[in-house]
Structure 1
Amino acid sequence: MDLKTIEKYLKSPLDTIIGGFTSEIKQVVSNRILEYQFEEYNRNLYSKTILHRANPKKLNDFYQPLFLKKYQEKVDNRIPTDSVEKLFKENQYLTIIGNAGSGKSTLIKFLFINCIDEQYKIPIKIELRYLNDFKGDLINYIRENIFKFQGLATDINIIDRLLESGKFLFFLDGYDELNISIKEETTKRIDDLVSRFNKNNYIITSRPHTGIELLPSFHNYIVSDLRDYEIESFVTKQIPGTEIELKNKIIEAIKKPENSQYDTYLRNPLLLSMFILTFQSYANIPQKKTVFYRQVFDTLFYLHDSISKLAYVREKESGLSKEEFEEILKIFSFISFFEEKFIFDIEYLDKTFNKIKSKKLTVAFDNQKLINDLNIAIGILNKEGLDYVFPHRSLQEYFAALYVSTLNTKNREMVYDKFLDTLKAVSSGIFFNRANFYSLLNELDNIGVLAKLIIPFYKDILTRIDNSMDSNDIGFVQVASVFYNVVTLFMDIETEFVDFHKTWRRVLEEVEKKQPKDIQILTNQENLKKFHDEVVVKIGIEYMKPCLLKLKPLLSQKINDLEQLLVSIDKSDEDIIGLIRFDELPPFILPE
């Protein structure tokens, strides 16, 4: 879209915004807003994905429209996202919650473009991860890095008058990528932003269980899984029109009855993209997510960027083997993930790679050549401006989990001890910022996770229930909260606790019903504390105390069952080893 068309589309909201300014300011502000929108429109219109890594591809050519559903709604009434105006018909402030790879960020790109196409409002997109390295709060970031940096305005009073107009739609993308150290403060600043400039519209995206669903006055929606017809449509859009045979084979493989038990993975756009990418080498649907990631790395390492030309191996400048690349990626991902770094500038890459070389003496490489290989030859890091990022954050999480799972027993136990402290913390924000990492680690090292994390955690919860049951303070509600979060993450293996899970969701629903609709009330800290003490604690006590009493015998039985499981696994390994009589093996004879 050209600048004149952007100007035409934004004329109405622009006229409203700058109506009270002098003619000189009108001209400057109007020109700068239009220039910003033109640049951002095209930045969001063209995108790289794990399937289209070589060159940016037009979003409309590969984007599969997503649907939302209301948070905690039992009936799957799917809400279309094809019109940003319709999306805001009922509510002014929205959170969009989705698991890793559900398509949240791509949806935001689509809605940004749609906002201009529909001449709805002036969209402003903020990737919240950039706040991690910003010395200031959210409102200052918007003033400094959006308006001043982009040249939209230079005077704070002018900026604030613009923001007070109500003609903006703010996309706050990636709440889950905020560092723990700034999350609480940033959440307050989001409240401040919405409270102060409350005529605008706001969308916040996040992975689940980050606490964003409790943000006052925001209405929560979840990204729906792809349905069968959408999976087929998604595949069709990713494959070049000339590759009809490849497209048909992929769709046929997905529809095979023997693959039906794993097709839940393919309802996630990222995992479906991975299946398409790896199809010609691995035509079966993996049983586990971690197998997808393994196959993706293998495919990226050996194959050309184009999915239609899968027989070309790029030369690697660094001269490293596949195993050495994997070792470096594991260590780099582990370090960067737990430093909460998701965007990497050259300085950070150099510093971290030098650390790796100083500690891991078995690998040697030139930093720049390695970066070139990771970006160009393999495509496991994408260059965005001056920075580098993984094609999707979950790849970083996979390599970090793989690193932990391959440590020797002593080092792995040391890491698990640190993880257990995180699980037991009353504030579980750190844990759930890393929920997908733990899920992948559970697949890679299920026995280790059970023995060193789950069982000790359950024992700790039992002790804490006993210690808090005689009091009427919030102690046991906090215990319930922590337990709920962990059970939610490992729900596939903890179905015994479904009643507890439902009860805690009931608590959240009851709290939401009694929550004041006026955001001004809950952004005041005194009112917020009063609401918490008089409503949240009261409801928690009413529902959770009897629920925790019922939970105790279930939890004791679960601990016993898991311990017996580990014993039986050890015994079965002993029996297998016992099948071989090492003392009766034939002697090794050298050839003559």
Structure 2
Amino acid sequence: MPIVFAPLKILDEVAGDLYSSAKTVASLTKDAFYRNLQLGFSKYIEGKYDRYSKVHTLLSPHKPIGVEDIYVHPRLDSSSKTVLGENSIDFVFDKKVVVVQAIAGHGKSMFLRDIFCRLCRINFNVIPIFIELRDVDFDKTNIIDVAFDEVSPQSSLFSKTTFEKLVRSGKVLFLLDGFDEIKTSQRTSALRKIDQLTRDFSAAKVVVTSRPTDIFNGWGPATIVKIRDYDLPQILDLVDRSPIEGEVKDAFRGKVENSYIKTHKKFLSNPLLCNMMILTFMRGGDIPKQKHIFYKKAFETLYRHHDDMKFLYKRDYHSDLPEDVFTRLWRTFCYFSYSERKFGFDADQMKYFIVRSANYLSIEVDAKAVASDFVESLCIIVKDGEQYSFLHRSFQEYGAALFICSERGVNVFASLDRFNENGNDDVLELSLMTNRELVEQDYILPKLEFVIKQVKRLRSVRKKMKLFYSALSLEKIEADGEFELYFTMPSRGSQSISHFAIFLRRNYRPMFDHGPYQKLRSWLRRLSREENANRKDISFRIDLDEIDEASAAETPIVDLVKSYLDAFASIRGEILERKKHQDQMLKV
């Protein structure tokens, strides 16, 4: 039975107003215009629903599964409350702009797909427009133009003026997926154009997904929410919905309840990593606790997945490459495509990166056969029509990290310093886990020398701090009554040191004194009380440019800068000591 798409009912309400703005169809009756409009939107909604209501997963790489069959609604944390995922649509309609943030694998795109599908099936009195931001060139266009281009081909009588009137009516919800997949050089422009959309069309609602980034801090209309880790009931629900055999499902479920929830909770609480655990478990392997080894085993599982499931079956690869050569080709492909921030490809781009990778390795390959292996045999790339994309970006990042740590001749410093600009990606971290000595000695050590010199050459405390952050803000978390301290990075082009400091804090946490953060929080809290003496809430921000040098020297900013320098010196000393020890052992 065909679906009756709910958004089409909205056209009944607005058809009259839209008809009056459609000057090019004056010779048509209102009924004829309405039928054309309904037919056009029907094709758009039907096409998008067909695409976004099904998804390929690690556990079902060849047969797409219904999103509503496998999706487990997460909890969303905002500064004011925790929202249950099934109530997310009501939460979105209550806000003007919602930014949904989460690390890799937490289901940001699935969250938007689920909202889109529910809006298609249930009448919420809104038309959803789903846009993948990685496909938008913000140097040349904007969201309204892209949205109109998506809809207009389906209705020959639908003008841009008519579309803009529809958006102004408040009947459109923009679902903008993957802000972090926009080219780094275009992100500031992209945010400016999304903000302009909310200004020009004040009734429009917008939802944006992204990995964690501070670019949204201070964006007035935005409510920022974070997808919370899955708890045990959600993990078990995810396992129960998995498209795997009942006996395997029951066995894995038992392992989760009896042991994995204690030993591997960090992996289980992330939907992508949980599915990778299931894959590894199906192959009968141990589940490693280190993330990079976990990815390694997951890749090996994908490479041999069907072989291990079928007695005496050895799968043929189209490219007929030896396993070690195929693996090198795959990680080279990941490196080159990631270097150009390409997460999706058409057929020509796919061929380009395969051929470029093969040329680097000085081998000859059939690019079409390799593409088929990536899609059909390895199952790490998904083909949708004529478009290709990674099953998940984290696999591309892992492959790029492997390339940097494994291939001779790679300029480790240049590669990692360039990737350091993508501060919310995992390439640096995975590289450090994969080959700690290489990354420490070829990247972290020289970068530390540079940063320490940059900080010490400045006399101004305020300017030293501005190397890392441009503003400080304080927000009250209503759920627990605590105050959270946020830092805003410098403007684009000046973020390298800031991203590097965050990377060090994550991976050398014991080296950092957290006392200055408490002092800074208390200081900002006092300033906040003074400024908001007659207000209950509680958002406070201070730009470093607004603090004069004499005042800055009397604030906890001094302590924070000093703690950074002390931590940098300690990390540098530890790396040098380890290198000295290794050199001595080699002499022996």
Aligned residues: 540
* Structure 1 residues 13 and 154, CA gap change in structure 2 (3 angstroms): closer
- Structure 1 contact 33–152 (Cα < 8 Å) conserved: no
* Change in 2 beyond 3 A, CA 1:460/1:421: farther
- Cα gap change, 1:35/1:196 in structure 2, threshold over 3 Å: closer, same or farther? same
How many angstroms apart in 2 are the aligned matches of 1:337 and 1:507? 41
Distance 1:196 1:456, change over 3 A: same
- The root-mean-square deviation of aligned C-alpha atoms, in Å, is 3.4
Q: Could you report, residue by residue, the CA deviation over 1:155-214 in whole angstroms, capped at 9, with x for unpaired residues?
A: 221121122111011100000000123222221110111111121211000001251344
Q: Tell me which residue corresponds to 1:277.
A: 279
Q: TM-score scaled by structure 1?
A: 0.82
2:465 is aligned to: 476
Contact 1:477 1:544 in 2 (8 A): no
What does residue 219 of structure 1 align with?
223
Give the alignment partner of residue 431 of structure 2, picking from 441, 450, 473.
441
Aligned CA distance change for structure 1 residues 381 and 418 (closer, same or farther; 3 Å):
closer
1:493 Cα deviation (Å)?
A: 2.2
3-state SS in 2 of match to 1:57 = strand
Quote the Cα distance in structure 1 between the aligned partners of 2:216 and 2:498: 16
Within-5 A mapping of 1:320-399: 320-361=321-362, 363-399=363-399
1:27 to 32, 35, 59: 35
Correspondence 1:397-546 to 2 at 5 A: 397-408=397-408, 411-412=409-410, 414-417=411-414, 419-420=416-417, 430-432=421-423, 435-470=425-460, 476-480=465-469, 481=489, 482=495, 485-490=499-504, 491-495=506-510, 496-499=512-515, 537-538=545-546, 546=555
Aligned to 1:161: 165
* Percentage identity across paired residues of the two chains: 21
Which of 25, 47, 53 is the equivalent residue of 1:39?
47
**Structure 1: 5+ residue stretches without partners:** 424-429, 516-530, 580-592
Distance 1:509 1:218 in 2: 23
Q: Aligned equivalents of 1:508 and 1:184: distance in 2?
A: 27
Instruction: Provide closer, same or farther for how the CA distance between residues 154 and 478 of structure 1 changes in structure 2, counting only shifts above 3 A.
Output: farther
Summarize the Cα distance change of 1:544–1:174 in structure 2 as closer, same or farther, 3 Å threshold.
farther
Select which of 200, 209, 213 maps to 1:196: 200
In the alignment, does 2:121 pair up with 1:111?
A: no
Using the alignment, how far apart are the partners of 1:505 and 1:364 within structure 2?
Answer: 59
Using the TM superposition, give the Cα deviation of residue 546 of structure 1 relative to its aligned residue in structure 2, in angstroms: 3.4
Q: 1:217–1:552: structure 2 CA closer, same or farther, 3 Å change rule?
A: closer
Deviation by residue 1:225-249 (Cα, 9 ceiling, x = unmatched): 0111211111111143xx3331232
Distance 1:32 1:89, change over 3 A: closer
* Residues 131-164 of structure 1 deviation map (CA, whole Å, 9 limit, x = unaligned): 14984233222222x1223447542211211221
The answer as to 2:134 corresponding to 1:137 is no
Runs of 4 or more consecutive aligned structure 1 residues displaced over 6 Å after TM superposition = 502-515, 539-545
Aligned equivalent of 1:123: 128
Asked whether the equivalents of residues 468 and 501 of structure 2 are also in contact (C-alpha less than 8 Å), the reply is no
How far, CA to CA, are the matches of 2:331 and 2:83 in structure 1?
Answer: 39
Q: 5+ unaligned residues in a row in structure 2: which ranges?
A: 20-29, 470-488, 490-494, 532-539
Deviations 1:101-160 (A, max 9, x none): 11000111111112233311111100001114984233222222x122344754221121
Q: 2-side partners of 1:379 and 1:322: how far apart? A: 15
Question: CA contact under 8 A between 1:93 and 1:217: conserved in structure 2?
Answer: yes
In 2 relative to 1, CA 511–441 (structure 1 residues): closer, same or farther, beyond 3 Å? farther
Q: Which amino acid aligns with 2:297?
A: Q
Measured in 2, the distance between the counterparts of 1:563 and 1:134 equals 41
Is 1:92 paired with 2:96? yes
Question: Deviation string for 1:257-314 (max 9, x for gaps)?
Answer: 5873432122111111111112133543322222222112211111229x97687432
Q: 1 CA distance for matches of 2:525 and 2:134?
A: 30
Corresponding residue number in structure 2 for 1:588: none
| Counterpart mapping for 1:151-300 below 5 A | 151=155, 154-209=158-213, 211-240=215-244, 243-257=245-259, 260-300=262-302
The 1:92–1:544 alpha-carbon spacing in structure 2 relative to 1, beyond 3 Å, is farther
Does structure 1 residue 61 correspond to structure 2 residue 63?
no
Contact 2:337 2:343 in 1 (8 A): yes
Tell me whether 326-335 or 448-457 shows the greater mean CA deviation.
448-457
Please say which of residues 372-381 and 120-129 is displaced more in the overlay.
Answer: 372-381
